[in-house]
């Protein structure tokens, strides 16, 4: 196995949090892509790297193992972003399961966001000013309102 692929696989296996991977995980995806497309454009760190199908499989398996270690959305997103570079249809069930799981979390979190906004409005905070109605299923409106309110209080939420 090539030196860079060996290092990336070892680093994936050692990583536990998004902070551990955020600066370099993109390399795994680009290395995977290079197995099928040797001239895949990437960053200078990968110039001249050749990846075999066996190395591609080692990277994919390391990512699949890593995916089981952490359910943090940033971690999962990073791992899925790498896996999508495989183009492997055998991962379809994994993608569907992730979609269902995180859509459920998103919907449940929106109910908490909405309830928190209404609670603030009940204590005379300026929430949904001028709005004729609001509801828990209006995701975009709730997120926008929450971001605006928090921004007025000096709290900025990334993303």
Establish if 157 belongs to a structural domain.
no
Using alpha carbons, list the distances in angstroms from residue 141 to 3, 84, 91, 138, 148.
Answer: 49, 31, 33, 6, 10
Q: Is 7 found in the same domain as 61?
A: yes
Q: Is 120 found in the same domain as 65?
A: no
Q: Is 106 found in the same domain as 77?
A: no
Q: Which two tokens stand for residue 16?
A: 């536990």
Range of the domain at 62: 3-86
Greater model confidence, 65 or 158: 65
- What's the mean pLDDT in 125-136? 77
Total structural domains within the chain: 2
Using alpha carbons, list the distances in angstroms from residue 137 to 72, 108, 112, 115, 140.
Answer: 24, 10, 11, 11, 9
Q: Which two tokens stand for residue 128?
A: 């949904």
**CB contact at 8 A, 12 and 31:** no
For the segment 63-112, what is each residue's pLDDT rounded down to a tens digit?
A: 999 999 999 999 999 999 999 999 999 999 999 999 999 999 998 999 99
The reported pLDDT for the residue numbered 132 is 56
Q: Is 81 found in the same domain as 27?
A: yes
Out of 86, 109, 136, pick the residue that ends a domain: 86
Q: Is 105 found in the same domain as 60?
A: no
Neighbours of 75 (CB within 10 A): 22
Q: Is 68 found in the same domain as 35?
A: yes
The reported pLDDT for the residue numbered 129 is 80
The whole-angstrom separation of Cα 145 and Cα 87 is: 38
């Amino acid at each position: 196995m090539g030196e860079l692929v060996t290092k990336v696989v070892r680093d994936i296996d050692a990583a536990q949090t998004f902070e551990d991977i955020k600066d370099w995980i993109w390399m795994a995806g680009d290395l995977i892509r290079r197995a099928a497309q040797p001239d895949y454009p990437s960053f200078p760190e990968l110039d001249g790297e050749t990846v075999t199908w066996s190395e591609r499989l080692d990277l994919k398996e390391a990512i699949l193992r890593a995916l089981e270690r952490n359910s943090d959305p940033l971690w999962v997103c990073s791992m899925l972003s790498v896996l999508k570079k495989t183009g492997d249809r055998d991962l379809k069930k994994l993608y569907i399961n992730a979609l269902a799981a995180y859509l459920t979390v998103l919907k449940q979190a929106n109910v908490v966001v909405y309830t928190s906004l209404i609670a603030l409005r009940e204590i005379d905070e300026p929430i949904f000013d001028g709005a004729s109605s609001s509801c828990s299923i209006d995701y975009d409106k709730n997120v926008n309102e929450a971001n605006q309110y928090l921004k007025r209080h000096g709290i900025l939420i990334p993303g």
